[in-house]
Structure 1
Amino acid sequence: MAQLASFKVPVINNEPMRSYAPGSADRKGLEAALQRVAAAAPYDVPAIVNGKEIRSGDKQGQPMPHDHAKNLSVYHAATAETVTKAIDGALAVKPEWEDMPWADRAAIFLKAADLIAGKYRFDIMAATMLGQGKNAWQAEIDSAAELVDFLRFSVKFVEELYTQQPSRNSDGVWNRTEFRPLEGFVLAVTPFNFTAIGGNLVVAPAIVGNVVVWKPAPAANYSSYLLYKILVEAGLPDGVIQFVPGSPPDIVKQCIDHKEFAGLHFTGSTHVFRKLWKDIANNIDLYRSYPRIVGETGGKNFHVYHPSSDIKPGVIQAIRAAFEYSGQKCSALSRCYVPRSLWEGGFQEELIKQAGSITIGPCTEFQHFTGPVIGRPAFDRITGIIEKAKQEGAEVIVGGTADDSKGFFVQPTVIVTKDPKSITMTQEIFGPVMTVYVFEDSEWDQTLELIDTTTEYGLTGALFGRDRLAVTKAAGKLRNAAGNFYINNKSTGAVVGQQPFGGARASGTNDKSGSISIFYRFVSARSIMESFVDPTEFSYPSNLV
């Protein structure tokens, strides 16, 4: 198609957060959406391939974490035949999708962002709250603001990517670079804990012209389905993104065993990611090209406090980092290092007071700071780890109790250990459990070394202190301990376009979602050199005698 102008996307800013204060129009709108979405459950969710709904009859439930006897949705697990159709259909539409003018591709995702920010804001929040156990504030952060930010900033970053061209041209030559999509299809395997991450894992490859097979998390099935339908309403062509819920091992294996498999965009456990990497490596002779492997996995994130730290702000930051969304964030605080002078000087007392005042409850009760964990396996794992910590001799100073009679509720728990390599200081928990290790003030340097070497992870970490010299030195010592490092701020809450997110070591490939960096991973650049002046002879000047 003719390109008759060089277009400029609108100015992109972060989506403003709404507060949902009592009596506000936003609170009323969200409450109404919660009632409406809950009343219509369970939703029948098919696979969607080439724009057509496919119901296998193999129905799997998505229980609501706060009321696990009820399903928010029942989805039809995709069969091997459906996955084959999804791959073939995506590859068939790929040439037309990658050839679509950039402005038209960009318009789809900008429109989807506006649909979520306005028309569907309360609906997708309600789906996230009921299905994934988030309260109103956490759902606003995730399924409204961050999801909108991912969509809009993706357009901005890709526009910037496409403007990057060679800076030099010889006389009579024009050098150009085009950023082709990968040759084949991309598999997106998305997690339960962030509707926005699910959206980003799918959109990041698609916006640069790739076609995507989307395997959503079972526990986030309905919000993922709603997002898919919003993308279609925004103009996404059939087949560009194929929606295939179902068995993760079966769907993933079928995709990575395909010759045209070109890339994996994954968020999930370190164990699963490592296995997928090995499986892809074993298939390397099968593929048309070397697949791109992009993954963000687990973390064992830390806060460390210098003796010069302020107590109350430090405690508040720890509570938010550890217990927002019941600790079910890749970046959640899990291990906390506090000097004895601070601990005995009021930190312990303030922590017990503040953490002990947290209430938990269903998403429909807005007064609660946090809610349930996602499901039975998570509940059993978290409570089991707490019991093992007790058996090791650790002291539970807040929480430690749980109730699964109706929903999967685990009380925010603070553990104090004398062993910096105990189970809750080394093993990822992914739940509302924070462990404190109290160190001697004189052992500051040794504690920094301990933080850097105790676990295999390297996702997020935070350093607190007023002594700038100590802060500067400590930040240097912890350079490789976290891909997202915070000074006098909690370890959670990276904002798209402001703090590119990702960790290294066992925490992932550190490709930094929320920045331009992630898009380099899903393109394959082609350098083009065009000559305007024809040569007149083949010999060189040095050949003359």
Structure 2
Amino acid sequence: MFGIRGHLAKSRITDFMQVFVRNCRVAYNRAKPMDYENDAANRNMLRNEINVLIQKKQVIPTVIAGEEICANGEEQQIRMPHKHKQILARFQYAESEHYKVAMDAAMRIREQWITVSPKERVEIWMKTADLLEKEYRHRLNAAIILGQGKTCSQADEDTCALVNFLRASGTALIKLSKRKLKNFNADEIDARFKVRAMNGFVVAIGPFNMTSISAGLAALPALVGNAVVWKPSDSCLLSSYIVYQAFQKAGLLDGIISFLPTNDEYLLRCLRQSEYFVGVNFTGKTETFNTIWNLIRPCIRCFRNFPRLASACGAKNFHFVHKSADVKKVVNATIDAAFIYSGQHCTACSRLYAPQSKWAEISEAMKQELDKKNIGDPTDFSTFSSAVINDVAFRRIINYINDAEKKEENEIVYGGGYSSGIGYYVEPTVIVCKKPFDPLMTKEIFGPILSVYLYKDDDVNQTFELISKTSEYAFNGAVFARDEEVIKNSKMNLRYAASNLFINNGCRKSTNQQNLFHGTRQSGNRRGATVLDRLIRWCSPQLIETTKIKDDECKKTC
């Protein structure tokens, strides 16, 4: 009897979650992009913030339980990618004793945080979003421009994404907390659903390229009641610290999110010693996530919970072009996807499959459009793209270019130039590869290189198969065609080659504002596309079922 009831209870809550995730539509006020190019007032305010940050040379602390700590280790420097001789900010890595303090503080303050109602937590998130959209906006954009090398419009796109994410996650939590279970026996049973935090703390490890992602990795688990240790990328540290200050000003309880500049591997080696470690929310390199798996695996039996390891990792996104495609659409979408932010984002297009009969036309149109693009200082409002993030990235990217120049089977048809004298600049580069499994076609380069393979016009299905086999990643892909039969076949044959497949649109982002799935294979395991999916991942839902005792039964017992 108890087994049947338990099964029914489990089935009820599982059905509820599936139906709710399927039907939930989160509505909120979306942040609107700044038109810096045509709005003189906002343009001047941004320039002022840029000048302030350059002159200030911010010292970024470690923050644990609301206390700013300056470590005693070697000073680390954040330099501007486009002017790498200029220091933007300074910081020191957190030390081993700080990790223990952060873990103890997380578990202590968490007990207070879980008593704060979802509504009160959401109010903090909404206030933070308002601060970032208004009071902190130009400062945050300036930090992203200078620290991460994004243009003004790209930086503001990042800020808007964070504002929208905070509002969407807050709205989703309110809806989730108000949901009620279907009760099929209300006369005898009272069944309730509770949004419950996990019994421990989460480690959030962010990438260099997206402040919105880095902050979101920490914000989402904290919103549902978890304590979080947040480790932003060094290059993203200044913008992340500004976001952290906005959370503090909005009233976030001290210690719910600890801010720790440090090394990824060293952080995990220390934090895995706690039995209350419950998971990692990660975005970054596949190799780094594999290291995290290997660090956690030997300690599994030491933890109170099986850790949840959520990741969005590498990508080798593709554009497939059919001979029936609109060439202008192909060219514009491919340049946008391949070369915005120098291809340093997980949705960048890095491989193009084009029919031999169309390549001359595509190539010429691409050259003409790329010639119009300004690659330079990101503080210049006319800049299309700027320098790559640092010396390590610069050397990795130019090694691919240098290797391509030496091989007869590769032809650089555009770009190929680079310079590190002032900043880490690499020209948008297009390389035709005669071999479909050339490293340029298979490896994640994370830079402004577009690798092209030319297939025979009639080998469409064979090329679909080739695309699926070529890469260990499966994040985004796009198909350009006007032939309906080709489009139909692409959906079937490329079903495992991309988690987000775009037809006649570039792979960089959804123009319909849809959230993207985070890939399969080595592209990660963070499956949820909606904010709600991700919210549920970092909570431990609880069913509370109370059997009502009738008055006559109570009298008999007495």
**Pairwise TM-score range, normalised by the shorter structure:** over 0.9
User: Aligned to 2:381, which of 359, 362, 366?
Assistant: 366
Counterpart in the other structure of 1:395: 411
- 488-497 or 106-115, which deviates more: 488-497
Aligned AA for 2:182?
Answer: S
1:189–1:216 CA contact under 8 A, matched in 2: yes
Say if 1:208 and 1:496 are closer, same or farther in 2 by CA, change over 3 A: farther
User: Aligned to 1:79, which of 92, 95, 111?
Assistant: 95
Counterpart in the other structure of 1:251: 267
The whole-number CA distance in structure 1 between the counterparts of 2:528 and 2:368 is: 37
Deviations 1:458-480 (A, max 9, x none): 11111111222321221221112
Say if 1:535 and 1:439 are closer, same or farther in 2 by CA, change over 3 A: farther
Counterpart in the other structure of 1:284: 300
- 418-427 or 347-356, which deviates more: 347-356
1:483 correspondence with 2:499? yes
- 243-252 or 302-311, which deviates more: 243-252
Aligned AA for 1:520?
Answer: I
Runs of 4+ in 1 over 6 A off after TM superposition: none
Aligned AA for 1:154?
Answer: S
User: Aligned to 2:65, which of 50, 57, 68?
Assistant: 50
1:440 correspondence with 2:456? yes
- Structure 2: segments with no counterpart, 5+ residues: 1-24, 554-558
The whole-number CA distance in structure 2 between the counterparts of 1:464 and 1:19 is: 31
Counterpart in the other structure of 2:163: 148
1:16–1:145 CA contact under 8 A, matched in 2: yes
1:324-403 equivalent positions in 2, closer than 5 A: 324-344=340-360, 346-393=361-408, 394-403=410-419
Secondary structure of the 1:81 match is helix
Deviations 1:30-60 (A, max 9, x none): 12221222122x2111100110111113221
1:434-513 equivalent positions in 2, closer than 5 A: 434-494=450-510, 498-512=514-528
Aligned AA for 1:491?
Answer: C
Secondary structure of the 2:228 match is strand
Aligned AA for 1:194?
Answer: M
1:189 correspondence with 2:226? no
The whole-number CA distance in structure 1 between the counterparts of 2:371 and 2:414 is: 6
Aligned AA for 1:166?
Answer: L
1:318 correspondence with 2:334? yes
Counterpart in the other structure of 2:84: 68
The whole-number CA distance in structure 2 between the counterparts of 1:160 and 1:477 is: 38
- Structure 1: segments with no counterpart, 5+ residues: 1-8, 538-545
Q: Tell me the CA shift for residue 23 of structure 1.
A: 5.1
Say if 1:483 and 1:362 are closer, same or farther in 2 by CA, change over 3 A: same
1:522 correspondence with 2:541? no
Secondary structure of the 2:229 match is strand
Q: Tell me the CA shift for residue 279 of structure 1.
A: 2.0
The whole-number CA distance in structure 2 between the counterparts of 1:289 and 1:83 is: 20
1:14–1:496 CA contact under 8 A, matched in 2: no
User: Aligned to 2:279, which of 246, 263, 266?
Assistant: 263
Q: Tell me the CA shift for residue 446 of structure 1.
A: 0.4
Q: Tell me the CA shift for residue 535 of structure 1.
A: 9.5
Counterpart in the other structure of 1:406: 422
Counterpart in the other structure of 1:541: none
2:314–2:523 CA contact under 8 A, matched in 1: yes
1:150–1:496 CA contact under 8 A, matched in 2: no
2:515–2:529 CA contact under 8 A, matched in 1: no
Q: Tell me the CA shift for residue 242 of structure 1.
A: 0.2
The whole-number CA distance in structure 2 between the counterparts of 1:407 and 1:503 is: 33
2:65–2:255 CA contact under 8 A, matched in 1: yes
1:325–1:371 CA contact under 8 A, matched in 2: yes
2:477–2:507 CA contact under 8 A, matched in 1: yes
Deviations 1:44-94 (A, max 9, x none): 111001101111132211111111112211012101001111111011000
Aligned AA for 1:380?
Answer: R
Secondary structure of the 1:96 match is helix
1:496–1:514 CA contact under 8 A, matched in 2: no
Counterpart in the other structure of 1:13: 29
The whole-number CA distance in structure 1 between the counterparts of 2:289 and 2:39 is: 45
Deviations 1:253-306 (A, max 9, x none): 211232110010001110110121122122110000111110000000000112
Secondary structure of the 1:523 match is coil
2:81–2:389 CA contact under 8 A, matched in 1: yes
Q: Tell me the CA shift for residue 227 of structure 1.
A: 0.7
Say if 1:356 and 1:257 are closer, same or farther in 2 by CA, change over 3 A: farther
Say if 1:165 and 1:500 are closer, same or farther in 2 by CA, change over 3 A: farther
Secondary structure of the 2:63 match is strand
The whole-number CA distance in structure 1 between the counterparts of 2:278 and 2:292 is: 14
Structure whose residues are more often helix by fraction: 2
Counterpart in the other structure of 2:20: none
TM-score (norm 1): 0.94
Q: Tell me the CA shift for residue 97 of structure 1.
A: 0.6
Secondary structure of the 2:523 match is coil
User: Aligned to 2:247, which of 231, 237, 246?
Assistant: 231
Counterpart in the other structure of 1:543: none
Q: Tell me the CA shift for residue 341 of structure 1.
A: 2.2
Counterpart in the other structure of 1:3: none
User: Aligned to 1:116, which of 105, 127, 132?
Assistant: 132
Counterpart in the other structure of 2:105: 89
1:495–1:514 CA contact under 8 A, matched in 2: no
The whole-number CA distance in structure 2 between the counterparts of 1:190 and 1:258 is: 21
TM-score (norm 2): 0.91
Aligned AA for 1:46?
Answer: P
Q: Tell me the CA shift for residue 14 of structure 1.
A: 2.4
Q: How many residues align?
A: 527
1:153–1:514 CA contact under 8 A, matched in 2: no
Say if 1:482 and 1:82 are closer, same or farther in 2 by CA, change over 3 A: same
Secondary structure of the 2:353 match is strand
Q: Tell me the CA shift for residue 504 of structure 1.
A: 1.0
- 280-289 or 384-393, which deviates more: 384-393
